[in-house]
Amino acid sequence: MSLRGHARRKGANDEGQIDLTPMLDVVFIMLIFFIVTSSFVKEPGVELLKPQAVTMEACERGTIIFAVDGKGDIYYNKNKVPLERVNRVTEAAKKEAPQANLVIQVDQDTPAYVVEELIDEVRSLLTVPPCISTDDEV
């Protein structure tokens, strides 16, 4: 007689608990979906004091970002890249994101000829003109 009463009490406790397994399954599926569908932007990794612009346009799908500092050094994904390797780096980035645009971040002291050489180096891989990143006018 005591076993039956014990079994009933245990069953009564099970009815009051909520099974969280289906909810966790849904959360993990959503997490995997967002990780797979998101695109990660590779930051150049150098501090720049960008020039101000009076007029500007938004750059569509600009995810290949190069930075040129005041000394004329080129950076991509937190690494210094020589001008000779820029074409290969851009080609590899275009394979990851074929619709991506090229964005060039420049410092106020960046030599203009370095930016011109950078654009000339990757011109054959571009479908649209590159974007130059600037700050808003103050």
The residue ranges of every structural domain in the chain are 2-37, 52-136
In whole angstroms, give the CA distance from residue 77 to residue 65.
Answer: 8
Give the type of residue at 73: D
**Considering the chain, what is the average pLDDT of its residues?**
80
Q: How much is the pTM?
A: 0.63
In whole angstroms, give the CA distance from residue 130 to residue 123.
Answer: 9
Q: How far is CA 21 from CA 27, 28, 31, 53, 59, in A?
A: 10, 11, 15, 53, 44
Per-residue pLDDT reduced to its tens digit, 67-117: 899 898 999 988 899 999 999 999 998 888 888 888 888 888 888 899 999
pLDDT band at 1 (very low <50, low <70, confident <90, very high): very low
> CATH assignment of 52-136?
3.30.420.270
